[in-house]
Structure formats: structure tokens, C-alpha cells
Amino acid sequence: MTHQAPEYLRDETRLWWAHVADTWTLEEHHLLLLTLAAEALDRGQQAREEIAKDGLTVPTREGGAKLHPAVRVESDARLSFCRVLRELDLDIDAPAESKRPPMLRSIRSVNGAA
């Protein structure tokens, strides 16, 4: 079954979402979690772009410097992404020797391989 990633995701994130959704047998709630992970991935990338454009620090009213607010957004997005991946069981095992993603313990592979 081919799943359609949300259109608002970045192109590369939509490809990742579709790959994961089509590789694993996911229930409806897993697809919602996958979408949350993809949104966090995009939010982190958006924050990285802001930091790259503006720098790691921004000026304060007093003329000093403070950490760019996007640094916290990036950090929160990374944590969210990792936590949702953990909920999906997509990072339980070490990477397989082959190019295929590792088998999940709680989600069956679409191909039926164990």
C-alpha cells in the first residue's frame, strides 16, 4: 500500500515519510506519529536555516548578545524527533549490515521478513 505524505512537508522529508510508511506495516496511530516526527525534522531544519542566516547569537536591547531563539527550537525539535522515533520503534536495533532499515520488534515488515 502506498501512503501519501502530507504536502506541507519539505520534499526530502516527504520522501523519508513515504519510505517509512511504505516499508513498514503501520497502524493509523503510527502514521500520525510518523507525521509528528517529520514535522519535528522540518522544524529543526527551519531553525538551522535561521541560525545559519542570523548567526548563533542575536543582539540584545542593551547592546550585548544572547543565544539565538532558534537554537532552542532546533534543540526541542531534535528531542521531539528522537522521542517519536523511539515510540515508533524505528531505532531499536543497530543498523543492519544491508542497506535495508532494521527490523522492528513491534511492527511487522510489509514484506513479511523476520
Q: Which three cell numbers stand for residue 19?
A: 519510505
Burial 25-59 (b: 16+ CB within 10 A, else e): ebeeebbebbbbbbbbbbbbeebbebbeeeeeeee
Q: Is the pLDDT of residue 111 over 70?
A: no
Beta bridge partners of 65: 59
Instruction: State the pLDDT confidence band at 21, using cuts at 50, 70 and 90.
Output: very high
38-49 residue pLDDT tens: 999 999 999 999
Does the model's pTM come out above 0.95? no
